[in-house]
Structure 1
Amino acid sequence: MPRGIYLIQEIEFPRADTTGQEEPPTRHRREGVDLLGAFAEVGVAGNPPSRAIALWHCEGGWAGGWRRMIDGSPGFGGLGSPRPLGEAPGSPCLADLVAEGYAAPLYLMEIATVRPGCALDYLEAVQKEYAPLLAEHGHRLVGAYEVQFRDDETVTLWGTDADAHVALQRSRDAALGLDDEAVPDHRLLVWRKRALAYLDGSRRERPMSPFPGSKLAP
């Protein structure tokens, strides 16, 4: 089976609150390229409120959807070029999860800058060490990706819900001694230090809510 290839693209929606006529695309495809998810960034993570994220699947990998779309982007008013993503070894296959009916009310996308050449090493550590820990906190790893055409960036995608997300933040705060009403999990701090062995820059999490009608929406 060929490696799974995806695209992450930022899109500008002036009326992303769905009060106007311009709706985000939630079910769109062209030959060999399928829109799996359309997300609005939520919370106060420092992102523009009108910005949305589109997640595309290149069916058949490099020789399939990617080969068919290299003459042009499948996006809708995209902000810059999409990030081509290649599944890391052992990564869940998001297209298969969608086919099985998986959906979550909240997703977290982590974009990490790693030391050149160690993207797959970092993603292996995420899958073996961090994913089981976050699973105990109600977060499921649904994708682990090496950004293509560069050697220093990774993307991971997690499915969760608001309660689990808040509880995770409070558990980490408690481990830092900043919340005396939550149960601490010091393993979260251990992982943060462990991740530094791979990181060579920022590690940013972006909370996202799937647009109604998106394939990844409940």
Structure 2
Amino acid sequence: MHVYLHETIDPVRAPGAHQRYLDELGRIVRTEGNAEGSAGGRCIANWVPIFLTGQWPQIIGFWQMPGGWDGFAEHFDTHPELFHRPLDRWYGERSGGFDRVLIGTDWTPTLDDIVADGTRAPVVLHETIRVAPGGAPDYLERLGAFREQLGDTHDFRILGGYEVAFRNQSEVIVVWSFPDVRTLTRTQSAPERFPELAHWHARSARLELEHTGVVVRPTDWSPLR
């Protein structure tokens, strides 16, 4: 079972703060892998929302936890401190954030799969979906079947589906990959051109209690770029 770390970061509302944060984080990812004392995740992407589609400024970090649940447990059992050591270094550029632990489906590619296949996702639709408690596994199973049905019919695809841990199986993250913004907007402006997608939206809406989507781009140092 593959475990992922998902963080929503709020940069300081000051000129240049968000870029300084991304520049420093990119240097760490390229040279150190991750900041000392943090959870040790391997970076899949750091995304920034496209203006007008979500809260801004904001950064979404996405990491794979080495060793799955065992790696997660080992890290936090051997790092019992309340705040990890690099926290102070970020105070100048970020004001806070919100973290999730995700469990990947068996059809979701790992970071190694992404790198080996040369997968790119220059434009991503990132969906956060709330379902009835206990409903996440069924939702993701249906999503996986739709992903298989969709195949290579269009230029876009479902990159991954994840259950959010510690939520009583009531929250799901879905990541869609698009080659460009125009391809994404066509699914909105001309839904009749994508009948299978419209059918999925109609079916999934019956399972969803809340649905929030934001359009994001990866940084140039993210593997998905």
Question: What band does the TM-score fall into relative to the shorter chain?
Answer: 0.7 to 0.9
Determine the C-alpha separation between the residues in 2 that align with 1:134 and 1:206. 23
Equivalent pair of 1:108/1:207 in contact (CA under 8 Å): yes
Determine the C-alpha separation between the residues in 2 that align with 1:78 and 1:137. 40
Equivalent pair of 1:58/1:66 in contact (CA under 8 Å): no
Percent identity reads 26
- Name the CA shift for 1:100/1:78 in 2 (closer, same or farther; >3 Å): farther
Please state if 1:6 is matched with 2:13.
no
CA RMSD, aligned part only? Answer: 2.6
Counterpart selection for 2:143 from 104, 108, 126: 126
- Structure 1 equivalent of residue 53 of structure 2: 45
Flag the structure with higher helix content. Answer: 2
Counterpart selection for 2:64 from 46, 57, 67: 57
Between 1:159-168 and 1:207-216, the stretch displaced more is 159-168
Equivalent pair of 1:92/1:144 in contact (CA under 8 Å): no
Please state if 1:171 is matched with 2:190.
yes
Measured after TM superposition, the shift of residue 202 of structure 1 is: 1.4
Q: TM-score, normalised by structure 1?
A: 0.79
Residue correspondences, number = 201
- Structure 1 equivalent of residue 173 of structure 2: 155
List alignment gaps of at least 5 residues for structure 1.
176-183
Letter in 2 for 1:205: G
Q: Secondary structure at 1:54's aligned position in 2?
A: strand
List alignment gaps of at least 5 residues for structure 2.
none
Letter in 2 for 1:171: A
Q: Secondary structure at 1:23's aligned position in 2?
A: helix
Q: Secondary structure at 1:91's aligned position in 2?
A: coil
Residues 104-141 of structure 1 show CA distances to partners (whole Å, capped at 9, x for unaligned) of: 21111111111110101111111112563374232222
- Structure 2 equivalent of residue 113 of structure 1: 130
Between 1:95-104 and 1:65-74, the stretch displaced more is 65-74
Q: TM-score, normalised by structure 2?
A: 0.77
Letter in 1 for 2:198: L
Give matches, 1:178-197, under 5 Å. 184-197=193-206
- Name the CA shift for 1:44/1:95 in 2 (closer, same or farther; >3 Å): farther
- Name the CA shift for 1:56/1:134 in 2 (closer, same or farther; >3 Å): same
Residues 15-55 of structure 1 show CA distances to partners (whole Å, capped at 9, x for unaligned) of: 3664xx4434232425742222111111411312x101001
Equivalent pair of 1:109/1:157 in contact (CA under 8 Å): yes
Equivalent pair of 1:38/1:55 in contact (CA under 8 Å): yes
